Amino acid sequence: MNDALPVSARGLVKLYGELVAVDHVDLTVEKGDVFGYLGPNGAGKTTSLRMLLGLIRPTEGSIELFGRDPQVAGAKALTGVAGFVEGPTFYPYLTARRNLRLLAAYDDGDSRSRIEELLELVELDDRGDDKVGGYSHGMRQRLGIAAALLREPKLLLLDEPTTGLDPAGMRDMRDLVRRLAGEGITVLLSSHLLTEVEELCNRVAIIRKGRIVYEGQLHDLLATAATGFRLRSPEPDRAKALLLAQPGIGEVTSVDGSLRFQADEEAVAAFSIALGQARIGVTALVPETASLEELFLGMTEGEQKGVEEAVA
C-alpha cells in the first residue's frame, strides 16, 4: 500500500444491455490528492464509483486500489478504503452512536474506541443519542463520513457529499473535507458542483456520456482558458471604434454596458496608450479568465440525461 496508487483504473466499461453507462474510462488518483470527478447528472460518475468499490462488476477493464483488484481480492482490496455511493444508509430507529457501534462490531480493530472522537469531528457529538430517523439530510451525510472514518482509511470516496444541503451545510461539509485532506487522507470526490471542486480539488477528471474528456491538474485546465478583457468607458462608441481599429484585438462584443475582447498583453498595452492619446475616459480595463464552469460546460455541452437514471 505504501507504494501503490490509491486508484488506478484502466479501460473501464459498463454495459446494461445496449446502454453504455461507462465507456473505456481511465482514472489515476495519486496519494494526497483531493480528486474531483466531475460530470453532469447521468454522465457515469456513480456507476464508476460502484465499480471502484466492487459493488458492481465492470464489463471490461481493470481496477486497482492500492495495487489490489476488488474483483480478485474481494473485501481485502478495500483495506484502507472507505466512503459511500448515493448517500449513506443507517437504521433510522437507532441512535447515531448505536449505528456506529454496530458498524464497529464488524471490525476486529479498535474502531469502537474512535466513535466519540469521530462524532466530535463531524460535529454530531451533542446529537449522538438522537435517533437517525430524526436527522436532517446534512446530519446523515456527516454521520456517513464518521462511519467511513471508523477504520482510519487512507482513501475516502465521496459521491456528491453536498447534494441536498443548504448553504451552511455545504460550507461545513467542505470544511470537513479540507480537514480530512490535511490529515493525509486521499479523497476522491464525485460532484457536479463546480464551485465546490474549485475550492477543494487539486486534480480533476471530467466525464461526458461515459467517457473521460479531461484528466489532470485543475490549474492546468484553468490555464487552457483564453484570457479576455473587459472595458468600461463613458464613451463606449468611441472606445469600440478605436478597439476595432487596433491590431491584435479580436472577438469584440458589447455585454451589459461593457466591451469584452480577446487580446494578448502587448495588444492591450498598446490599446491603453491609444485610449489616452484619443482622450477617451476609462472606468475599468480588467482581465477576465474563463471559469471552471465555462470550461466544464464547453466540454460537456449536449450531455443527455438519463444514463444513470436508466440503470438505477
Q: What is the pLDDT of residues 64-114, one digit of tens each?
A: 999 998 888 888 888 899 988 888 899 999 999 999 999 998 876 678 889
Q: Count CA within 13 A, CB hemisphere, residue 301.
A: 6
Strands 81-84 and 155-159: parallel
Positive or negative, the CA dihedral 38, 40, 44, 49 is positive
Residue position matching grid coordinates 488506478: 8
pTM over 0.85: no
Confidence (pLDDT) at 108: 65
Residue 305 amino acid letter: K
Confidence (pLDDT) at 132: 96
Domain ranges of the chain: 7-218, 227-289
Confidence (pLDDT) at 294: 67
Confidence (pLDDT) at 304: 43
Residue position matching grid coordinates 466512503: 83
Q: What is the pLDDT of residues 33-57, one digit of tens each?
A: 999 998 888 889 999 999 998 889 9
- Fold of the 227-289 domain: Alpha-Beta Plaits (3.30.70)
| DSSP H stretches of helix in 187-291 | 194-200, 218-223, 236-245, 265-277
Confidence (pLDDT) at 290: 64
Mean pLDDT for all residues in the chain: 86
Query: Which residues of the chain are modeled with pLDDT < 50?
Result: 303-312
Question: Which CATH code for domain 7-218?
Answer: 3.40.50.300
Written in H, E and C, the secondary structure of 265-306 is HHHHHHHHHHHHHCCCCCCEEEEEECCHHHHHHHHHCCCCCC
